[in-house]
Amino acid sequence: MTIDLDQARIALQEERARLVHQLEELGATETGELRSDLDFGGGFADAGAVTAERTEVLGLVKTLTQRLEEVDAALGQIDDGTYGTCATCGAEISPARLEARPASIHCIDCKSKT
């Protein structure tokens, strides 16, 4: 089974667009910075709820930005001709893994170690 780079690029670009949209909906940039105009409320009685909500949003933003970094790294590997090669050990990433998760830049063995 060979890797269809055009199909992988399309899947990665679509995933990137979804991630950027989700970040925007949360009020964050692609780098994970929250917009300065984002308001979580300011009442003293609601301080605990505001803190909890902000913490939850920050956690979601962190997860989304990490996934975005993985997608960008995979797109970079397509561009430089190394897509399908583990970024850690240099082994081939199985085509089945790449089909299931096109943003994979590590083989299953290296990913399980992290």
Does some domain include residue 84? yes
Does some domain include residue 52? yes
For residues 87 and 44, give the distance between their C-alpha atoms in angstroms, rounded to a whole number.
48
For residues 8 and 92, give the distance between their C-alpha atoms in angstroms, rounded to a whole number.
16
Does some domain include residue 35? no
Domain residues for 60? 5-27+44-113
Residue corresponding to tokens 């939850």: 56
Q: How do residues 38-57 score in pLDDT, each as one tens digit? A: 655 555 556 667 677 778 88
* CATH label of the domain that carries residue 13: 1.20.120.910
Residue corresponding to tokens 């780098």: 31
- Greatest extent of the chain over all pairs of C-alpha atoms, in Å: 60
Q: How do residues 1-33 score in pLDDT, each as one tens digit? A: 578 999 999 999 999 999 999 999 998 999 988
Residue 18: name the closest of 83, 98, 87, 102 by CA. 102
pTM: 0.82
